[in-house]
Every structure is written in C-alpha cells, then in structure tokens.
Structure 1
C-alpha cells in the first residue's frame, strides 16, 4: 500500500450545483420534524466518547434483539463457510455498530475539524491521479460501498477540492431527511435514480465527479450480475455505462475506520479501466465486475465495516440468464 499523503489539504465549504439541490422524499409534519431534530441536536451535543458508547450500545441492542440478524449471519455463512460461528457473530455485531456510528455521525453537520477529529489521512497514490483529473477540468466516477462511513467519506472528498455529486435514493422520515440536508450543506449535489445516467453523464462532462455505491441489489431486468463473495450479485451498470460513454476514469474511495472506530482515513485505488476488444455489453459487465472485486477486497480486509444485514443477493439471475460474469 502506498504511504499516506503527507500534506492534507485544508477543508473547504463547497457549494453543490444549483441544478442538483432538489430534495426528493417524504418529510414529517412540522411538529414531529421539530421534536425529532431537537432530540438529534441533543445527541450531537454529547461528548464524542459518549456518542460512540451510545452507538456501540444501540448496535449491540439491535443485534441482540435479532433485527435482521438472521440475514447478516446467513450472508456471512455463504461468504465465509470455513469461519467459526462465533467469529461470524463477532463480525455481524461489528456491522451493526458500524451502521449505528454512521447514523450518529451523519446527523451532525459539523466537519471533522469541528468535531475534534484528527485530519484524516489519504492512502494510495491514486489520490494524486484523481486530483490531476479534476485539475484538468474533467470529472471522475468515484465508487464506494456501505462500508466504514460512506457518508463522511463522500463529504471529505468534496471538502478536499473534488466537486462531487452523489447518486442517491429518495428517503423519508425526520432522521433520513436530516442526513439528506447535511449532504447538501457539505457541498454534495444529489442525483436520483430517475434519469440518473443522463444526469451523471452531464455532471462528468461539466467537470464534476459522481459518487456511486455499487453494493445494492437491483431488479434483474435493470442489472448486470457479477461475482461478489463467490455468488452472482445484481449490480447497477450505470457506472460502467457512463464511464464508457464519457471516458471518465473510475476510482474506488473507501472510508476506513481505525481500530477505535472513531477515526477515518480515505483509501483510494484507480483508475480502474474498462476492458478492451470486447462487445459493449461484455465490457460493461466486466468493468462492473472489476470494480466490485476491489470493493470485495476491502470488505474481506475489514469485514466488520460492511453492512452484512443488507440482502445483497436477494435478486437472482432469471433462467434465461441476463448478461453476467461468473466467477
């Protein structure tokens, strides 16, 4: 692994593109919204050590109550058939704590400096290649997963001088809408699934980079199937389609927590090129598989930082078999 970048850039307060500031979703009524936001303000005001203790407690409680525990352990059995059940349960519990930490950190609009965190280091020589791309006025495609703290990782990329838009889904509820509002306050533009490929294409052509999470299941008719922990996983082709149409380079950026769980670093790889000399559909599938393989590498390295409670393999290839790449 490359040495950490020695001179971190100072955080900035970017402004998301005006065309990408629309918030889609369902907000609560004014009274409920006010009450919930005051409660969230109180949580944000707690000392960092207390907030992290709360995150660990809530994660433990959700795991102990069995909320999606069966799904998490079943996923881990498929991924690690030779692992002991005790170790799988340890990893699953870590995934619940990771999820709770992400939520508690994402409701707070303050950046890492205001929170008293150390300046996050960036590892991987690919960060320089990404910065060079942006310096030329070009956009890049940045891929990550529900790993570590994906929300804060995106904000850190944006604050370090990369104009960034995120491909997101409409959300609902006071807590979720607060997270959406904080994305905009951090300078991240929002792109929603309807018409996403066209908007991502436009953003890249304007020199803006686009952040995509590549670890969510899609309906079979809209997906390509690529290997992920030894099983075909339905995956969006949007990343590979836009990369092919625009020539935008693809980078993987992972927000990795340290052993304490309270510090974050960015690990960057890329650019990850599409294959050459194959048909368009094969190239899209193979490119998606190559990037997914990088995500899997990080998840295997830090398994308790990925959301195993997500039903990643719930969609299976239809009998006739859509375009796929078997591992």
Structure 2
C-alpha cells in the first residue's frame, strides 16, 4: 500500500473517533514508536539537552517528544472543516493584538514558526482573527498526498504554496506581502543547507534566510509565533513581539542580524514546552557528525 493510501486510511479511521480517543491514541502510538527508533530517540535527546541541559534531558522526556508528535498526527488526521469551530473554542491566543495590529498597518506580516505542537493549526487562529494567511509548505515526493493536504487547508480558509513544486513561490509570497497580506513560514530547520549562520541553543548552525529576507525586502512585520498543545483538547498560541530589522550597511548584514534575533526568539518560545518541539532530524553540524 502506498503512502497516499495509508494516509487516507489513517485519516478516515481516526476521523471516526471521539477527539479525546484520537488524541490519546496518537500519543500512545508516538510513545511506542520511540522504543523502535533508538537512533532517533538518541538524536531527539541531544536536541532536548540543548534546550534543558544534559541532566534534565531524560529518556522519558525524550519519549514524550515522540508522544507529542503522535498527537500532532492524530489531530491532523482528525480535523475536518466542520470541526474547526470546536478547536478554536478550546484554544487560547496569547497576545493576539500583536498580529492584528501588525496586519492593520497594511505592510504585510510574516508569521514564522517552529515545528511545535500542532503548528498546522496556527493558520486557523489567524483566519479566526481576521488575518487570512498564505502558508508555505514543505514539498513531499508524493504529489497526490501534497494535493490532499493542500485541499484540506483550503477548506479551512488557508491558501498554500509548496516549496519545490512551485517555482514562483518567492514571487507569490512577496506579492501577498506587498498587498498587505500575511504569509506563514515554518522556519526552525534549514532544509536547503544555504541558510544564515546563527547561534541556536548555544551551538552554531544555520536557519532559513527566508523570513528575514522577505521582511527586509518588503517592510513586512516579522513575528515569531509558536503553537503548544493544551493539557486536554485545544491549543495555546503564543504571538511574540515583531523582530526589528536593524539599520545596517548591507542587506546580508541586516538579514543576518534579524535571523539571529529570530533564533533568540525561537529559543524562548521552545523553552515554554520543550517536549512539544517536533525536531527529529539532524539540525546542528555536530548531529550529522554523530549519525
């Protein structure tokens, strides 16, 4: 059975369950998966140690990151357009005025997020606040699967462009910002390998240049946002202060400084719930040296 069929089967089955059952099932599957992926568990524990320190980065806390990721997938499969109202009612937004006031300026907004909690659902909150978004999604090898995900998000009021499958993606993002719109970018991993060098949780790595570059080119507000699971149903969305683009001599200098400021903001957001940071790939040069 192909990946597309498996995803559709999982979505069909989980969508039939009551929300608490789906959520707990996802957590149980994720927790169990941590026993089968020992190398990945060790990698996740290294990531966790950067955030909370070696002594606090216990195996149990690392397994909790797998459980949280399982909940993420359960929620992705469970949600349908008719269920979004219940999700919004059970969720809470911290500092919503930071997003709405930036949007009201009319110069565009870049919402930049880590892979925490159910980051996909951040678009729902933006739409609910009257700030519809154009989200840039990572490309997948299976185009049918990508098309299915895009259609689901469109039914929930979000527009989507796919990296690697749309050669005009940058132009579309810039156009949306120049029109005073909002774009959403998940930006805690540098998939291209051509990102901006930063100090991130005490160790040098790179982060995507996209958020800071778009902000520098268009004058749009760059706002870090993170999503976290509530203890039960629903999510908590934290909207941080906009990142200032410094007045430095050259564009590369301005982008580098803003990206480091974004990395600093990500650190503070992720520390709110380290077990909900879904980073299961090498993200620092030392990770790759040990794999």
Q: TM-score, length-normalised on structure 2? A: 0.86
User: Which of the numbers 134, 159, 165 marks the counterpart of 1:189?
Assistant: 159
Bigger shift: residues 115-124 or 286-295: 115-124
Relative to structure 2, which stretch is displaced further, 87-96 or 73-82? 73-82
Tell me the distance in 1 between the aligned counterparts of 2:126 and 2:154.
14
244-253 or 271-280, which deviates more? 271-280
Richer in helix (by share):
2
Aligned residues: 281
**Map of 1:65 onto structure 2:** 36
SS of the aligned residue for 1:45 comes to coil
Residues 33, 268 of structure 1: alpha-carbon distance in 2 compared, 3 angstrom cutoff: closer
Computing the radius of gyration over CA atoms, which structure comes out larger, 1 or 2? 1
Task: Please tell me whether the aligned partners of residues 234 and 315 of structure 1 are also in contact (alpha carbons under 8 angstroms).
Answer: no
Where structure 1 has 5 or more consecutive residues not aligned to the other structure, the ranges are 1-27, 317-327
Moved more, 103-112 or 46-55: 103-112
The answer as to whether partners of 2:189 and 2:283 remain within 8 angstroms in 1 is yes
Structure 2: gaps spanning 5 or more residues: none
Measured in 2, the distance between the counterparts of 1:160 and 1:119 equals 15
Distance 2:84 2:50 in 1: 40
Match of 2:228 in 1: 256
Residue 133 of structure 1 and its aligned partner are, at CA, apart by 3.3
TM norm structure 1: 0.77
1:109 aligned to which of 73, 80, 85:
80
Aligned mates of 1:190, 1:251 — CA distance in 2: 19
Distance change >3 Å, CA 41–CA 62, structure 1 → 2: same
2:212 pairs with 1:240:
yes
Alignment map for 1:41-190 (pairs within 5 Å) = 41-66=12-37, 68-84=40-56, 87-107=57-77, 108-110=79-81, 113-115=84-86, 118-124=89-95, 127-173=96-142, 177-190=147-160
RMSD of aligned Cα (Å): 2.6
Q: Residues 299, 35 of structure 1: CA spacing in aligned structure 2 closer, same or farther, 3 A cutoff? A: closer
